[in-house]
Amino acid sequence: MASSRWYIVYVILFIQLFSTGVRGARSYHPLSSQSYNHAKQPLQTFRPYNIAHRGSNGEIPEETTAAYLRAIEEGADFIETDILSSKDGVLICFHDVILDDTTDVGNYTKFANRKRTYEVQGQNITGYFVVDFTIEELKSLRVKQRYPFRDQQYNWKFSIITFEEFISIGLDAKRTVGIYPEIKNPVFINQHVKWANGKRFEDIFVETLKKYGYKGSYMSRNWLKQPLFIQSFAPTSLIYISNLTHSPKILLIDDVTVPTQDTNQSYWEITSDSYLQFISSYVVGIGPWKDTIVPVVNNYLTTPTDLVARAHAHNLQVHPYTYRNENQFLHFDFHQDPYAEYAYWIHKIRVDGLFTDFTGSLHWYQEWTSPVKDVKSADALLRKISGMISSYEEP
Amino acid sequence: MASIWNISILLLLVFGAANAESNVNQEAKKPIQTFRPYNVAHRGACGEIPEETTAAYLRAIEIGADFIETDILASKDGQLVCFHDVILDDTTDVKNRTEFSNRQRTYEVQGVNVTGYFVVDFTLEELKSLKVKQRFSFRDQQYNGKYSIITFEEYITIALTADRTVGIYPEIKNPVHINEHVKWSNGKKFEDIFVETLQKYGYKGTYLSESWLKQPIFIQSFAPTSLVYISNQTDSPKVFLIDDVSIPTQDTNQSYAEITSDGYFSYISQYVVGIGPWKDTIVPPKNNYLTTPTDLVARAHAHNLQVHPYTFRNENSYLHFDFHQDPYQEYDYWINQIGVDGLFTDFTGSFHLYQEHTSPYPKDSKTSDDLLRKIEKMISHYENA
């Protein structure tokens, strides 16, 4: 009789323990990525980085979970995103400051009175601004493919995701996939969104990354486990966060007519040798618009500038944007062949990474022309040939 | 076990063979590849340069074509020329020529009234005075006004003087229309002159025969009676072109369904070695997505007929969404999933790169030639990597 009472006690204790376990499920059943981090295929570092610009947005609406998963499936080294903030200070993945062009915001009567006109980087813009919507409201929207000439079949199926959701996609991948988030329109964001304790956009941005364990300078052991580039068009944001994190940073550079949003400096100033010297204390590379590296006239390439050579001389990587397969984006020198464009930029101009809307195409190109395996030494090749000859039998 | 010395000698031989490519001697020419699907440069490299010009054909050869393709029509004075349309309006400057302003006509061609300046109403000298332009406005316009129409013989000469073996793929184009409007002496018709021209330049031999490998050729036409007619005159391999599902044959008025039936394949396979269908009839698209492939390729193959579909283009407006705007994905699908034997492409360079990277040499080396060529490829691949 006593034994059965003890039995009941054990059962009750067991159930208690089990319930606690279920409530704190994360500690009992960690994500596979967190348990087996050490077994993941590492990031390749021997050839230029394949950066999936807004995910695989050539196929799937930009900056959605599906677009990022597809990019990883197709071979991206890094998945790229633009970070903005909702009204209530939640960091989200979204490119435009307005929701008009890539969501169904215009269909909601409850949002009909949210249209505003604000000045952004010296220009008046009218629309439904991200910063005027809470995260719950943003999540209620559905996104669509930006370009009408791309696949429309996923329109209205997907939602906007948060910075944390984006990070999780990167970390949960079966192989090591880097993230490449942008501190987007920080001047504008900090004007419209306020955080507690006097924190600004850049602070929350870095805190989010640190929460998920992103740390370490470029090519350090920590970095190789969780690769990351932080990008921005605003140099002061990058300088500001260099006190907060060692993670490598990239200065984005806009077209020749567009000054920086925070320091109002011209293209010519920020690409001068002295500026590159200055900024190389804070960033590991630059991300220019490709048509400023090799200017174009009547859709033909002209002589390349020396920007890449000078950047390399300052030990700065060059990751130009943006590569697209559609022939309207391809200069005639490439005869409507996106792979010819990759060949030019990788082998002639020798960039260190590329932002592409078509990560699958770049991956194929790289696998063909600089594959991960079969980097044979001359010795190994000769041995293989000798084997083929000696085993050859006259038919 | 071959020693390092043996390998060095062999490598020297291989490099020696590689350098011999520059020798124009027909005997020493690098042969045509036959181990992977044929890269047929549709109208030359017309993605880059105005179609069917010397420049377009030279460029196609430069970037790796196995065959250069053309359409043969006839001038008023019976000269065979390389030109695709029956009218000159869309790809030449004929409309700007005041001396020809009264030449516009309306004729019925394949049941449709066509109005324009007809090739058959101009002598060769007049045709030669025109300048051609790039057909598509979204392609490179820089060569407009620079080049002329060329003759069948000039086209053949381009192929024969290439420094590697390049095949030709001429079409007996609109023979019904041509024979209506152009007469030759001795009761000869268009098809006779066509074959005579080929024979004048030594084209002969069945598919893969020694003669054929020296001067590869496919003769194509949409008109089955033309192909049947010339089979008495030449054993050169012929390919039967098949238009869209709604278009009957111009000579026998037979429907797509009839000429792609098993019974018809049995019949026509006595005369042709293959068919050239429009690719959207093999795998019908809907809303720009591929649907289930038909069994056309399987049935053609069952009758020992090759399949060379047309036409592959890089521009995204021609690519179904399944290929996400990547022409190489399209090549991959047609080569690996559908299994065609050749394809007509406006972008021979892109297709060549695809093939060089995915099937650079034959899997099994049979002869010592094969083995040496395979080794040559491995070395150049290693050097490029």
Instruction: Tell me the pLDDT of chain B averaged across its residues.
Output: 93
Q: With 70 as the cut, is the pLDDT of residue B19 above it? A: no
The pLDDT value given to residue B372: 80
**CA–CA gap between residue B236 and residue B272 (Å, rounded):** 9
CA distance B265 to chain A (A): 35
Residue B372 host element (H or E): helix B368-384
pLDDT bin (cut points 50, 70, 90) of residue A372 is low
Q: CB distance from A347 to chain B under 8 Å?
A: no
Per-residue pLDDT of A22-67, as tens digits, reads 444 444 455 555 555 567 999 999 999 999 999 999 999 999 999 9
Helix (H, G, I), strand (E, B) or coil at B235: coil
**CA–CA gap between residue A45 and residue B214 (Å, rounded):** 47
CA distance B314 to chain A (A): 6
Per-residue pLDDT of B164-220, as tens digits, reads 999 999 999 999 999 999 999 999 999 999 999 999 999 999 999 999 999 999 999
Interface test with B, best of A47, A301, A346, A389 (most B CBs within 10 A): A389
Cβ A93 vs Cβ A83: under 8 Å: yes
Question: A147 or B374, which is more confident?
Answer: A147
Per-residue pLDDT of B258-267, as tens digits, reads 999 999 999 9
Q: Percentage of chain A with pLDDT > 90? A: 84
Q: With 80 as the cut, is the pLDDT of residue B288 above it? A: yes
Place of tokens 């970095």: A223
Cβ B285 vs Cβ B322: under 8 Å: no
The pLDDT value given to residue B18: 47
Beta bridge partners of A98: A129
Instruction: For residue A340, report the phi and psi dihedrals to the nearest 5 degrees.
Output: -65, -35
- Which chain A residue lies closest to B324 (C-alpha atoms)? A59
pLDDT bin (cut points 50, 70, 90) of residue A373 is low
The pLDDT value given to residue A389: 80
Query: What is the residue type of B55?
Result: A
Instruction: Kindly report the pTM of this predicted structure.
Output: 0.88
Beta bridge partners of B342: B38
The pLDDT value given to residue A24: 43
Question: A388 or A167, which is more confident?
Answer: A167
**CA–CA gap between residue B108 and residue B114 (Å, rounded):** 6
The pLDDT value given to residue B4: 57
A372: Cβ contacts below 8 Å, ≥ 6 apart: A44, A46
* Tokens at A236, concatenated: 């002061």
Q: Which of A37-51, A259-273, B339-353 shows the lowest mean pLDDT across its residues?
A: A37-51
Q: With 60 as the cut, is the pLDDT of residue B23 above it? A: no
The pLDDT value given to residue B22: 42
Q: What is the ipTM of this complex?
A: 0.88
Q: With 90 as the cut, is the pLDDT of residue B39 above it? A: yes
The pLDDT value given to residue B309: 98
B contact set with A (CB within 8 A): 1-2, 4, 6-7, 10-11, 47-48, 138-140, 142, 289, 314-317, 321, 324-329, 347, 349-350, 353, 357-358, 365-368, 371, 374-375, 378-379, 382, 384-385
